[in-house]
C-alpha cells in the first residue's frame, strides 16, 4: 500500500483542502499553547498543506500522507462547520463531497457545485 493518497481535483478544491489544513492548524493548535505536541501537530498540518500544494500537478492531482487522514477529515469538517455558521445555512453536502475527494475518490466540480446548491436550499 502506498504511503500517499493521490487526490485528483481542480484548483478550487485544492485551495479548499490547503486552506482547511492551514486554518485547522492555527485553530486547533494555537502557538500560544506552546506544548511540543501542539507544535508537532500544527507543523504536520502545515507541512501537509505545503506538500499537497507543491506536488499538485498540472493534470490536477496532489498527494497527502495516509497517516494524516483523520486530521484532514477533521480539518475539512471544521472548515465547513465554520463556513456554515458564517453563511447561516448548511454546508453538509459540500463537506461530504470534499471528504470523498480527500479519500481519493474521483469527484468532478459539478458535484461540488450541485452540493452547494443543495446546501443553500436547506
Distance CA 119, CA 84 (A): 9
With 0.85 as the threshold, say if the pTM is over it: yes
As a whole number of angstroms, the distance between CA 59 and CA 47 comes to 22
Report pLDDT for 31.
Answer: 78
Beta bridge pairs of residue 109:
none
Percent of the chain whose pLDDT exceeds 70 = 99
**Got the DSSP string for 51-120?**
HHHHT--TTSEEEEEGGGHHHHHHHHHHHHHHHHHHHTS--HHHHHHHHHHHTT----HHHHHHHHHHHH
pLDDT for 68-103, tens place per residue?
999 999 999 999 999 999 999 999 999 999 999 999
Give dist(CA 76, CA 119) in Å, integer. 16
The C-alpha cell that represents 24 in the structure block: 485547522
Give the pLDDT mean for 58-72. 91
Amino acid at each position: 500500500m502506498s504511503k500517499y493518497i493521490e487526490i485528483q481535483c481542480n484548483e478550487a478544491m485544492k485551495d479548499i483542502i490547503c486552506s482547511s489544513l492551514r486554518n485547522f492548524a492555527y485553530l486547533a493548535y494555537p502557538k500560544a499553547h506552546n506544548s511540543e505536541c501542539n507544535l508537532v501537530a500544527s507543523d504536520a498540518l502545515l507541512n501537509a498543506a505545503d506538500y499537497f500544494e507543491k506536488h499538485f500537478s498540472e493534470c490536477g492531482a496532489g498527494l497527502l500522507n495516509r497517516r494524516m487522514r483523520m486530521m484532514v477529515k477533521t480539518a475539512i469538517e471544521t472548515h465547513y462547520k465554520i463556513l456554515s455558521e458564517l453563511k447561516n445555512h448548511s454546508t453538509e453536502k459540500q463537506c461530504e463531497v470534499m471528504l470523498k475527494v480527500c479519500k481519493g475518490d474521483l469527484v468532478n466540480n459539478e458535484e461540488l457545485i450541485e452540493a452547494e446548491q443543495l446546501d443553500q436550499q436547506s
